[in-house]
Amino acid sequence: MKNYNVYCLDLDGTVYHGTEPIPEAVSFISDLQSQGIEPYYITNNSTATPEQVIEKLASFGIKTYVDKIMSSALVSAKYCKEHYDGATVQIMGEKGLHDALVSEGFTFVTENPDIVVVGLDREVSYSKFTEIALAIRSGAKFIATNGDKAIPTERGLLPGAGSLVKLLEFTTGVKPVILGKPESHMLAFIKSENGYSKEEMVMVGDNYDTDILSGIRYGIDTIYVEGGVTSKEEILSQAEKPTHLLRTLADWQL
Ligand SMILES: [Mg+2]
């Protein structure tokens, strides 16, 4: 095993399952912190603000900070700032996405936006789809927080942001720029904002198609942990395997 300095942890399925913490992950994080390493938390969830993520982790006894949270909402806002600074925006999304764009200084409009950013919106309506679709047809840049088909909940798998994005793509014929995992924009921002090298970074997660692929595509090491979305059998059948395979994070020697 290798000692990394920058641990990028997926949240749901890696640190907790819904509202239940994963005890091995909680002790792993505490061990990292006792060695002076504050991990990053990388989530495709665009609905929560960093403060809400911090509050949820605090309820499991995990202390962290705003600058350690990287969500698909934050990366979308950072991407828009980098490529379309000063543009007008219209969103389909919740508080996490709205606040991320506000903190990057974007102005919201109700028609003719320069960009639309689409994330999970659990109260979306036909009229909202209509507004966003018309904006894309009028030439607005089409940005998607992430392409997740489904989100795991107590009730089962519910439609994810990617399902809303697909509807818009289908009706407009325009393909969006997608920013969350398995793309590697979140890892790239963490590296560039802190001056890390890829060798010291590792992406840790339970989902091959998002977590592990984002690390592989970015060219950093990956740690797959069993017990979440991807089974060990599915991992073993992949041509490109994670760097490390663990049953739980208790198996990682720091
Ligand atoms: Mg996960």
pLDDT score of 235: 97
Token pair 């802190």 is found at 194
Cα–ligand 1 centroid distance for 210 (angstroms): 8
Cα–ligand 1 centroid distance for 154 (angstroms): 15
Cα–ligand 1 centroid distance for 219 (angstroms): 20
pLDDT score of 254: 85
SS (H, E, C) the chain: CCCCCEEEEECECCCEECCEECHHHHHHHHHHHHCCCCCEEEECCCCCCHHHHHHHHHHCCCCCCHHHEEEHHHHHHHHHHHHHCCCEEEEECCHHHHHHHHHCCCEECCCCCCEEEECCCCCCCHHHHHHHHHHHHCCCEEEECCCCCEEEECCEEEECHHHHHHHHHHHHCCCCEECCCCCCHHHHHHHHHHCCCHHHEEEEECCHHHHHHHHHHHCCEEEEECCCCCCHHHHHCCCCCCCEEECCHHHCCC
Domains present along the chain, CATH in parentheses = 6-44+181-251 (3.40.50.1000), 84-175 (3.40.50.1000)
pLDDT score of 15: 97
pLDDT score of 152: 82
pLDDT score of 111: 93
Residue 159 token pair: 């439609």
pLDDT in tens, 162-180: 999 999 999 999 999 999 9
- Ligand 1 is a single-atom ion; what residues have CB below 5 A from it? 10, 12-13, 206-207
What's this model's pTM, rounded to 2 decimal places?
0.95
Q: Would you call 13 exposed, middle or buried from its count of C-beta atoms within 10 A (0-12, 13-18, 19+)?
A: buried
Cα–ligand 1 centroid distance for 34 (angstroms): 24
Cα–ligand 1 centroid distance for 142 (angstroms): 26
Cα–ligand 1 centroid distance for 110 (angstroms): 34
With a cut of 70, which residues of the chain have pLDDT below it? 1
Residue 108 token pair: 């919201």
Cα–ligand 1 centroid distance for 22 (angstroms): 12
pLDDT score of 127: 98
Confirm if 136 and 115 have CB atoms less than 8 A apart. no
